[in-house]
């Protein structure tokens, strides 16, 4: 019996109903239910949903059984990959500026620098390793080069120290090692979980962080064959750490440093940028817009669908005219964007109910200045929502359930199949963009979006239309 089968059996037993009664109410015959329990067969999602209703499963029991179903039905790697992407997307709203005060580690008490008189010295405690790192970062004037695989805690310590020392312009170049295919839980951890740090640091205006990736060959992991597998290169120091950062070798030979720096530069020259941000992202997003037209499928996750595309020309022109009084370039760009979006029909998009609530109640529209919210009348809002309703009834544009994926108000994600993933974070003063084009990451996000549309996290087409109808009714009553 599989874990799923045992969990289903327990729920049936706890319901107090016999198998015959369960079979009758769920419209699934008894032999098939027994096969589900034994593990010889898995139910369809629709069949599982009916069974959960019949056994009167609680919300927590439903989540647990569905999670186990997905784990066994899709396989561990795909399951953990999707969970990692979900966690990444839900964490994006906290990515604004790297704030050293949010660091989870404590800076060690440093009373004296480690002995630097010897060309090679061994640091035999975590405190000694962190003390050496602290002094090296504080003294660095040129750049910090981080080789693949560095532990997360050590990376955070370096970034935290740079932030505390206000070395905003000090370049930190970091090379990541990626597998050619995501085939294990370890690959998921490195390729997906690590993106949260890469995006956070790349998008922060307080840190000059540049990240690249190279493809590794084989399945040999440095931490399994080397005592000191992780390397950080400074101008006057090479630090090689063990996997726990509790022991390290410090090398101060300029000749050796030059050799390591040359090797690092070779990796950068043969690798590719992992996360584009800042000026690089502006270029990347420009090319990304062109690639949208070449992509076979575009996916979007956002607070709101592009509501201006459903507005009457009169409304659009009036609002843009008011924007033009303050910023003519912004008005022109928004008009161009609205026209392009009105022509785009191949998007598969999910949006938050919170975004529709904000629009219906306050006139809130992403990218519009606060002072223009009230410029859209209640009648116009109802008309725009009717346009959205018609669009959702014939296109793959769905509403996220409140109990599902929790996307922050300031986040938009766009995925182009075979092209890249763009993360956009907005606030009152600016848009920050990060673009990732690594093939395995793009495929993982495309898989997640297809899964999302099939999952309980997203309302069906009929439910989406019904939810929009409620807001139209709310606007028409007053």
pTM: 0.81
User: Could you report the per-residue pLDDT of 40-53, keeping only the tens digit for each?
Assistant: 889 988 889 899 99
Distance between start and end Cα atoms, the chain: 58
Q: 192-206, 265-279, 334-348, 458-472: which range is least confident on average?
A: 334-348
Is the pLDDT at 388 greater than 80, yes or no? yes
In DSSP terms, 121 is beta-bridged to: 250
Q: In whole angstroms, give the CA distance from residue 223 to residue 244.
A: 10
pLDDT tier for residue 111 given thresholds of 50, 70 and 90? very low
Q: In whole angstroms, give the CA distance from residue 140 to residue 386.
A: 59
Q: In whole angstroms, give the CA distance from residue 207 to residue 75.
A: 38
Q: What DSSP designation does 245 have?
A: S
pLDDT tier for residue 324 given thresholds of 50, 70 and 90? confident
Sign of CA dihedral 452, 359, 393, 335: negative
Q: Coil, strand, or helix at residue 305?
A: coil
Q: How many CB atoms neighbour CB 478 within 10 A? A: 5
Q: How does 43-54 read in b/e, with b if 16+ C-beta sit within 10 Å? A: beeebbebbbeb
Q: Do β-strands 298-302 and 347-352 pair in parallel, antiparallel, or remain unpaired?
A: parallel
% pLDDT > 90, the chain: 31
Is the pLDDT at 372 greater than 70, yes or no? no
pLDDT for the residue 85:
92
Q: In whole angstroms, give the CA distance from residue 72 to residue 75.
A: 5
Is the pLDDT at 257 greater than 50, yes or no? yes
Residue of 359, 96, 119 lying closest to 367 (CA atoms): 359
What rounded mean pLDDT belongs to the chain? 83
The residue among 459 and 313 whose pLDDT is bigger is 459
User: Could you report the per-residue pLDDT of 181-198, keeping only the tens digit for each?
Assistant: 888 877 887 788 888 888
Q: How does 374-391 read in b/e, with b if 16+ C-beta sit within 10 Å? A: ebbeeebbbbbbbebbeb
Q: In whole angstroms, give the CA distance from residue 53 to residue 216.
A: 47
pLDDT tier for residue 171 given thresholds of 50, 70 and 90? very high
pLDDT for the residue 143:
93
Long-range contacts of residues 181-186, Cβ cutoff 8 Å, at least 24 apart: 181/440, 182/77, 182/81, 182/440, 182/443, 182/444, 183/77, 184/77, 185/76, 185/77, 185/80, 186/221
pLDDT for the residue 345:
64
Q: In whole angstroms, give the CA distance from residue 412 to residue 421.
A: 11
Alpha helices in 174-327 (DSSP H): 185-188, 195-203, 222-225, 254-270, 278-292, 313-326
pLDDT tier for residue 105 given thresholds of 50, 70 and 90? very low
% pLDDT > 70, the chain: 84
Is the pLDDT at 97 greater than 70, yes or no? no
């Amino acid at each position: 019996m599989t874990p799923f089968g045992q969990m289903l059996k327990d729920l049936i037993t706890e319901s107090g109903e016999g198998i015959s009664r369960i079979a009758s109410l769920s419209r699934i015959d008894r032999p098939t239910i027994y096969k589900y329990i034994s593990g010889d067969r898995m139910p369809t999602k629709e069949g599982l949903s009916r069974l959960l209703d019949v056994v009167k499963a609680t919300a927590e029991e439903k989540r647990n059984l569905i999670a186990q179903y997905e784990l066994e039905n899709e396989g561990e790697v795909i399951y953990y990959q999707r969970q990692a992407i979900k966690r990444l997307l839900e964490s994006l709203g906290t990515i604004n500026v790297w704030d050293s005060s949010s660091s989870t580690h404590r800076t060690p008490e440093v009373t004296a620098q480690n002995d630097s008189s010897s060309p090679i010295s061994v640091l035999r405690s975590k405190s000694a390793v962190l003390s050496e790192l602290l002094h090296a970062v504080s003294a660095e004037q040129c750049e910090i080069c981080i080789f693949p695989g560095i532990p997360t805690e050590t990376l955070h310590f370096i970034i935290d120290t740079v932030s505390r020392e206000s070395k905003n312009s000090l370049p930190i170049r970091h090379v990541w090692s990626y597998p050619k295919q995501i085939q294990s839980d370890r690959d998921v951890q490195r390729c997906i979980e690590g993106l949260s740090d890469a995006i956070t640091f790349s998008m922060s205006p307080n840190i000059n962080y540049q990240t690249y990736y190279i493809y590794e060959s084989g399945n040999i992991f440095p931490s399994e064959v080397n005592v000191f597998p992780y390397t950080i290169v400074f101008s006057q120091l090479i630090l090689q750490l063990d996997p726990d950062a509790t022991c390290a070798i410090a090398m101060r030979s300029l000749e050796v440093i030059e050799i390591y720096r040359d090797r690092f530069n070779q990796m950068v020259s043969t690798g590719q940028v992992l996360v584009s941000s800042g000026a690089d992202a502006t270029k990347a997003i420009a090319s990304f817009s062109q690639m949208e037209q070449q992509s076979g499928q575009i996916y979007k996750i956002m607070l709101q669908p592009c509501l201006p595309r459903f507005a009457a020309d009169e409304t659009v022109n009036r609002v843009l005219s008011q924007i033009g009084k303050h910023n003519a370039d912004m008005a022109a760009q928004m008009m161009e964007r609205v026209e392009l979006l009105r022509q785009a029909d191949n998007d598969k998009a999910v949006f938050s109910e919170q975004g529709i609530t904000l629009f219906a109640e306050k006139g809130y529209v992403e990218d519009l200045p606060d002072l223009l919210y009230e410029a859209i009348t209640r009648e116009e809002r109802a008309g725009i929502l009717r346009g959205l309703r018609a669009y959702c009834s014939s296109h793959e544009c769905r509403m996220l359930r409140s109990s599902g994926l929790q996307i922050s108000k300031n986040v938009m994600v766009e995925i182009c199949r075979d092209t890249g993933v763009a993360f956009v974070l907005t606030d009152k003063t600016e848009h920050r963009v990060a673009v990732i084009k690594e093939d395995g990451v793009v495929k993982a996000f495309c898989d997640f979006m297809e899964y999302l549309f099939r999952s309980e996290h997203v309302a069906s087409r009929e439910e989406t239309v019904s939810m929009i109808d409620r807001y139209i009714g709310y606007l028409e009553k007053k």
